[in-house]
Structure 1
Amino acid sequence: MNQADRWLLPDGIEELLPPEAKQLETMRRTLLDTFANWGYELVVPPQLEFLESLLTGVGSDLNLQTFKVTDQLTGRLMGVSADITPQVARMDAHSWAKDGINRLSYCGSVLHTRAKSLLSSRAPMLVGAELFGESGPCADVEILSLLVESMQRAGLEKIHLDIGHVGIYKALVASAKLDAEAEARIFEALNNKAVTEYRLLVEQSVVGEQLQQAFISLLELNGSTDVIEKAKALSGVADVDASLQNLAQICSILQTRFAGVEIFIDLAELRGFDYHTGMVFAAYVAGHGQAVAQGGRYDDTGAVFGRARAATGFSADIKQWVRIVNNEASTEDGIFAPVDADWSVVSELRAQGKRVISGLSETDTPAAFGCTSVLVFKNDQWIVETL
């Protein structure tokens, strides 16, 4: 092993040095304080769990993203958390079960076996909020409003929301009564935006011209919130009208609250189709092609833990936000205390919230530690002087 191997980190794993680490911690505190101001209680799920509980009720994608290890005490397989949301759903269903509304927030590191994209981290620090116990659009509006406010407080600008509703596609599939193979092929084509293949599969598998047209129209139902009005062509299909009304109400309130936030509707967006049950969304900022936050409604996930609950929420990688905001580390006024400074004076300054750096030898200087003030002994007392 050569010397370079000793400091080489795995692909997608990074270390944060003082300037960036400070920015991350400042942002973390800002976000958790924002969540608390909205009534969300902080939880800290374990980083390691038995696979049976960690992966119960989640899709195969999360299973593939999870690092597995063997418990040396029991011989059972355990997994390192790759997504905190299912763990929080388990808490709501069992560990912190409440009647009625339950608002929970979190911030913690997870590990992924593979990066989700070329520039993504395999060790993101996820921050998020989950609202349990309310199935109406007001809960979705609250989650989206909390996300936008959190992004604004973190310093993210020119916010763009991409909103869809998987319930509409699910209603069409239920009406078409497709077999499993046809459903899978149509879903894959739509998810990949393979327009020609999708049209052909719909014509081959869906019975009835009106229903075929409803499927095909999904390809064109994207754009401003006016798309919701155009989507009334889908009306008549069970549950579609209710989903469209739900979406319209959510967007109307958001436009009133956040006039500067651009809203884009995409009814062919099937992100998390196996997991989500209603509205889905992703947040973007100008100049960055990747989503900076994702979320949506995932009702009844807690059923596998014995307690089915309405649920909606969002999560984001706070490391990604720090890289986007990229603020210069704010300089703090540091006070240099010489090695012979009175300890009680130094302690009192620190108790007042001052940043005091003690010299460790007589040759240490304020400049060496970036201090802008120094503690000096004058007129029989220790005082702070600005350099």
Structure 2
Amino acid sequence: MPISETWLLPDGVADVLPEQAQIIEQLRREALDFLASRGYQLVYTPFIEYIESLSSLSESNQDLDLATFKVIDQLSGRLLGVRADMTPQVARIDAHVHPVQGVARYCYAGTVLHTKPQGFNTTRAPLQLGAELFGSDSIDADVEMIDVMLGLLETAGLVESAHLDLGHVGLFRSLVKQAGLSKDTESQLSDLYQRKALPELAEFTKELKFGSDFYALGRYASDLAALQANLSVNILADEAFKQAFNVLTTTQLEIQARWPKLRIGIDVVELRSYHYHTGLTYAVYAPNRAAPLALGGRYDGIGEHFGRARPATGFSCDLYALSAGQFKQIEKVVAPKGTDKALLAAIATARSQGLSVIQLLGNDDLSSVPNATHQMVLVADEWKVEKI
């Protein structure tokens, strides 16, 4: 590579410039303060660790495994993974590092790294922020997590036009189990659901046991009343199916009661992370954005890899994505060079009020401070801040 091009960054990686960086940092602080007010304790996790630890999720989520950068540790010779998601690390903390009894609530914020972009026009190094709740398998825990997620987005001013999608992988799983489908058939069905390919689904399910139920699941995926009316008696009588259906309907009602103006949709065949999630799934979308603002769900038993299986639910979001398109002019106050006590006192006062004050150096003048917006001037023996 020519020396003139060594400043270029890899595809999917970008610098964050001051005008956006301060927006992101303010958002991060407000989000973490909000999570703390809801009882979620902040943890920091290492950027890199043994791949065996990070594989607690990748064993059930091949997509995460493929997204993880792997390198050899020159100290031990063992394989290391650069975190592509912080949930496995928080699960390790809950299982071994900080194994509290009862319900544990954690939150985090940090950069993760992906081998490839995980969506259209997304970064390979998201600034991931999220929350996890361990130790409760109740519907109340799922409702709390969704409520927290929406509250966090509200702090960013993104709830008013948002749309919440709810799903539950248990409906599809119970059907698959009752029909005794092979892994290959299950995978093909999942693909058809994800593509919303109803004509193909109708043809594919003709010869399947409970084929009409599999078709109904896709045909009425967004209408629980219509879905219930078009399913067979055997499927509706299945305990696993009934439980999943009840969780979905109850959660929808409780969230709507808390957020009466929120638009809530249902998609029972949203199987994006089917092999990872074990129950309710949720995602928040906004107009003109292809990727969700935040998403999460239930993943019970996540700590089993570490010897402590616990019910768990959580969500995450990318702060870069949340702040997309937002910029803020940085106000700079330029003060003259000098050690006059009144001048130094005025500078200290301005800084204590949250202003950014730059004092000139050497023979510099106002032109040496790019994009200066204000200056400190002496008026009637008093230093004042005036707009340039």
Does TM, normalized by the shorter one, top 0.5?
yes
Percent sequence identity is: 36
Q: For residue 20 of structure 1, report the CA deviation from its aligned partner.
A: 0.9
Q: For residue 217 of structure 1, report the CA deviation from its aligned partner.
A: 0.7
* Mapping of residues 303-314 of structure 1, within 5 Å: 303-314=304-315
- Change over 3 Å in CA distance of 1:315–1:385 after alignment to 2: closer
Secondary structure in structure 1 of the residue aligned to 2:130: strand
Cα offsets for 1:19-55 (capped at 9, x unmatched): 0111111111111111111111111111101111111
1:199 aligns with 202
- The question of 1:337 aligning with 2:339 is answered no
1:220 aligns with 219
Residues in 1 aligned to 2:162 and 2:214: alpha-carbon distance in whole angstroms: 30
The amino acid of 1:95's aligned partner reads V
The amino acid of 1:279's aligned partner reads L
Residues in 2 aligned to 1:7 and 1:285: alpha-carbon distance in whole angstroms: 35
Q: For residue 153 of structure 1, report the CA deviation from its aligned partner.
A: 1.2
Residues in 1 aligned to 2:238 and 2:294: alpha-carbon distance in whole angstroms: 31
Q: Which segments of 5 or more consecutive residues in structure 1 lack a partner in the other structure?
A: none
1:249 aligns with 250
Q: For residue 260 of structure 1, report the CA deviation from its aligned partner.
A: 2.1
Q: Which segments of 5 or more consecutive residues in structure 2 lack a partner in the other structure?
A: none
Residues in 1 aligned to 2:135 and 2:161: alpha-carbon distance in whole angstroms: 32
Q: TM-score, normalised by structure 2?
A: 0.90
Q: For residue 145 of structure 1, report the CA deviation from its aligned partner.
A: 1.0
2:151 aligns with 149
CA RMSD of aligned residues (A): 2.3
The amino acid of 1:386's aligned partner reads E
Residues in 1 aligned to 2:353 and 2:264: alpha-carbon distance in whole angstroms: 45
CA contact (8 A) 1:366 1:373 kept: no
The amino acid of 1:65's aligned partner reads A
Higher deviation after alignment, 222-231 or 57-66: 222-231
Cα offsets for 1:95-149 (capped at 9, x unmatched): 1211111111111111111112231111111111111111111111111111111
Residues in 1 aligned to 2:367 and 2:28: alpha-carbon distance in whole angstroms: 30
* Mapping of residues 19-168 of structure 1, within 5 Å: 19-58=19-58, 59-156=61-158, 157-168=160-171
1:240 aligns with 241
- Change over 3 Å in CA distance of 1:230–1:386 after alignment to 2: farther
Secondary structure in structure 1 of the residue aligned to 2:56: coil
Higher deviation after alignment, 98-107 or 56-65: 56-65
CA contact (8 A) 1:366 1:374 kept: no
Q: For residue 203 of structure 1, report the CA deviation from its aligned partner.
A: 3.3
The amino acid of 1:223's aligned partner reads S
Secondary structure in structure 2 of the residue aligned to 1:129: strand
1:9 aligns with 9
Q: For residue 183 of structure 1, report the CA deviation from its aligned partner.
A: 2.9
CA contact (8 A) 2:163 2:265 kept: yes
The amino acid of 1:213's aligned partner reads S
Secondary structure in structure 2 of the residue aligned to 1:183: helix
Residues in 1 aligned to 2:186 and 2:223: alpha-carbon distance in whole angstroms: 28
The amino acid of 1:363's aligned partner reads D
Secondary structure in structure 2 of the residue aligned to 1:78: strand
Cα offsets for 1:59-116 (capped at 9, x unmatched): 2111111111111111111111111112111111111211111111111111111112
CA contact (8 A) 2:189 2:201 kept: yes
- Change over 3 Å in CA distance of 1:338–1:82 after alignment to 2: same
Higher deviation after alignment, 178-187 or 274-283: 178-187
Moved over 4 A (4+): 224-234
Higher deviation after alignment, 101-110 or 50-59: 50-59
Q: For residue 308 of structure 1, report the CA deviation from its aligned partner.
A: 0.9
1:177 aligns with 180
- Change over 3 Å in CA distance of 1:231–1:103 after alignment to 2: farther
Higher deviation after alignment, 16-25 or 337-346: 337-346
Cα offsets for 1:272-312 (capped at 9, x unmatched): 11110101112100121222211100001111111111111
Residues in 2 aligned to 1:152 and 1:227: alpha-carbon distance in whole angstroms: 32
- Change over 3 Å in CA distance of 1:261–1:230 after alignment to 2: farther
1:189 aligns with 192
The amino acid of 2:326's aligned partner reads N
- The question of 1:260 aligning with 2:258 is answered no
Secondary structure in structure 2 of the residue aligned to 1:288: coil
The amino acid of 2:296's aligned partner reads G
Secondary structure in structure 2 of the residue aligned to 1:276: coil
CA contact (8 A) 1:161 1:283 kept: yes
CA contact (8 A) 2:53 2:88 kept: no
Secondary structure in structure 1 of the residue aligned to 2:176: helix
CA contact (8 A) 2:216 2:231 kept: no
- Change over 3 Å in CA distance of 1:287–1:227 after alignment to 2: farther
Higher deviation after alignment, 220-229 or 113-122: 220-229
The amino acid of 1:166's aligned partner reads V
Q: TM-score, normalised by structure 1?
A: 0.90
Secondary structure in structure 2 of the residue aligned to 1:336: strand
- The question of 1:316 aligning with 2:282 is answered no
Higher deviation after alignment, 356-365 or 155-164: 356-365
Residue correspondences, number = 378
